[in-house]
């Protein structure tokens, strides 16, 4: 079964993904800035299928140390699936010129993903699966931007558009090595970030995420995926325009 590493695993989507991957028999390395009661409970009940490794995606020293720990844990085995789930989001009360948090969003949602991805690629290159899943958002679609004005979060939107561009560049650069890089929108999910007003429960959101991760192949490299949820026209399981 695949070896999986997930960033942002302390809560929300990341934590639920840890549970789902472990439940289907995969070995999971759960990472976040620090542990949480949720992670500790999952690790304790996993019979060794889940381990926790500290990882702050904006700190290159932390990223490097996490790679050393992960390599020690995996031994001669490869890392098969990397899920970049760690992210930040905040709203803006005003116009874009008043935005003062763009650097923070970019450092976590883009540069952080880049730092983690390039550091872990050597652990993935000997494997057969080689999937890198970047959790993005339809709010980052430039094509759909006119339909997304209801969400007053320009820094988040810009950072996710940049994350999508980063995903495509990685996809093009590593396609000859058999990697599959995708950007994946989980939908609007009832996490701390998404709020209780969101369309989907965490269970529903992660079920959709897992269906995509388990099914994508190298032919999907460089695409922007949507999840599928019956009864929702906006969650049609098809590609999202960049």
**In this predicted model, what pLDDT tens digit does every residue of 30-84 receive, in sequence order?**
999 999 999 999 999 999 999 999 999 999 999 999 999 999 999 999 999 999 9
Percentage of the chain exceeding pLDDT 70: 98
Q: How do residues 94-124 score in pLDDT, each as one tens digit?
A: 999 999 999 999 999 999 999 999 999 999 9
What's the pLDDT score for residue 195?
A: 67
**Domain covering 3-226, topology:** Rossmann fold (3.40.50)
Q: How far apart are CA 107 and CA 86, in angstroms?
A: 11
Domain spans in the chain, listed from the N-terminal domain onward: 3-226
What's the pLDDT score for residue 193?
A: 72
Q: How do residues 143-194 score in pLDDT, each as one tens digit?
A: 999 999 999 999 999 999 999 999 999 999 999 999 999 999 998 788 777 6
Question: Containing H/E element for 225?
Answer: strand 223-226
Decide if pLDDT at 130 tops 70. Answer: yes
Instruction: State how far the alpha carbon of 220 is from the alpha carbons of 7, 83, 216, in Å.
Output: 22, 16, 6
Q: Are 193 and 12 in contact, with CB atoms under 8 Å apart?
A: yes
Q: Pseudo-torsion of CA 176, 120, 90, 106, nearest 10°? A: -70
Q: Largest alpha-carbon pair distance within the chain?
A: 52
């Amino acid at each position: 079964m695949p070896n999986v590493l997930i960033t942002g695993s302390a809560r929300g989507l990341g934590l639920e993904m840890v549970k789902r991957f472990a439940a289907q028999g995969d070995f999971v390395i759960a990472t976040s800035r620090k542990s949480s009661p949720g992670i500790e409970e999952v690790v304790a009940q996993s019979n060794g299928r889940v381990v926790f490794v500290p990882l702050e995606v904006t700190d290159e020293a932390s990223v490097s140390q996490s790679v050393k720990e992960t390599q020690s844990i995996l031994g001669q085995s490869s890392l098969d699936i990397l899920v970049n789930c760690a992210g930040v989001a905040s709203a803006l009360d005003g116009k874009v010129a008043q935005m003062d948090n763009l650097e923070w969003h970019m450092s976590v949602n883009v540069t952080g993903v880049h730092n983690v991805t390039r550091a872990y690629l050597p652990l993935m290159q000997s494997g057969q699966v080689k999937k890198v899943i970047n959790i993005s958002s339809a709010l980052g679609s430039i094509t759909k931007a006119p339909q997304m004005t209801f969400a007053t979060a320009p820094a988040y939107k810009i950072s996710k558009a940049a994350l999508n561009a980063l995903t495509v560049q990685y996809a093009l650069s590593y396609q000859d090595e058999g990697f599959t890089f995708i950007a994946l929108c989980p939908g609007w999910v009832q996490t701390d970030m998404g709020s209780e007003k969101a369309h989907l429960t965490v269970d529903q959101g992660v079920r959709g995420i897992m269906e995509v991760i388990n099914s994508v192949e190298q032919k999907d490299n460089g695409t922007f995926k949507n999840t599928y949820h019956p009864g929702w026209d906006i969650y049609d399981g098809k590609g999202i325009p960049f």
